Amino acid sequence: MDIYCLACPICNKPLDKFSNVCMCEAGHSFDISKHGYVNLLPPMKKSSHGDNKEMIRARRDFLDTGHYQKLRAALTQSVSSDCKRSHALLLDAGCGEGYYTKAVSDALCCKVVGVDISKYALIGASKRLNGACLAAGSIYHLPVLAKKFDIALNIFAPFDKAQYLRALKDDGRLCMVIPGEDHLFELKATLYKNPYKNKPAPFEIEGFKLLSKERVTYEMDINSNQDLMNLFKMTPYYYRTDPEKKNMLSQIPSLKITADFIILQYTVAQNSQT
């Protein structure tokens, strides 16, 4: 694994690689896992480890069915038509197992830094993104150097504006994917008496200028209960739903479900201060 543009999570100084550790000039050192990522979670945060093995497996298996491939293709098309730069550096904060990261970085032929809080996600990402710079770290304290990145991705991940403004170059781009109002509506209608539509967050973000907005919506034919349960486990509803309803869902052999996404492209606004 190459190490570039990573910062010490304790003192923010650049990290260099020495054999199987990363170290800053102040001597703070961090282990490089044999699974191909460096652990930059601050010591107190090591207990908060994000998505667990079961969630990661469910997401990987669902993504591998191809139901989100249309989103991935639209996202890749959107980023690559907007941002043609040679030797670009891409930051994926909340990269998960790298399903989108891989497609975008292949299309742009760019180097990647992926950050996720879950070590299980990073183990998957290191397989998809062979040789990429991957770090276990907090999205609210990204362990990356300032003003190094041409493009940053935020795909269904928590968003901390200040972290992106710090990491991106002055002319950097941010690409964000958020759920549209109809996303997974039929799944919610199966589970709840009064399902509600999603309320997309306001598109304007202070410090960024919105360049484009694209809605991608299509029907997914979920034709096995295994795929349905894997999709369910990727959602926040899984944790809010009582066992009786979970059991009811586990009896449903197939379901047509709407996928609805909004792809947003931004550039850093001039004069934005972090």
Footprint on this chain of Zn ion (rule: CB under 5 A) = 8, 10-11, 24, 26, 28
Composition of the chain by helix, strand, coil, percent to 5: 30, 30, 40
Contact in structure between 152 and 93 (CB atoms under 8 Å): yes
DSSP labels, 32-45: BPTTS-EE---GGG
Q: How far is the CB of 42 from Zn ion (least distance, A)?
A: 11
CB nearer to Zn ion: give 8 or 125. 8
Q: How far is the CB of 6 from Zn ion (least distance, A)?
A: 11
CB nearer to Zn ion: give 11 or 248. 11
Structure tokens at 235: 């959602």
Dist. CA 235–CA 237, nearest whole Å = 5
CB nearer to Zn ion: give 26 or 109. 26
Q: How far is the CB of 29 from Zn ion (least distance, A)?
A: 9
Residue nearest to Zn ion (CB): 8
Q: How far is the CB of 8 from Zn ion (least distance, A)?
A: 3
Q: How far is the CB of 23 from Zn ion (least distance, A)?
A: 8
Identify each DSSP E strand in the chain by its residue range.
16-18, 21-23, 29-31, 38-39, 89-93, 111-116, 133-136, 149-155, 168-179, 208-222, 255-268
Contact in structure between 256 and 186 (CB atoms under 8 Å): yes
CB nearer to Zn ion: give 12 or 217. 12
CB nearer to Zn ion: give 18 or 192. 18
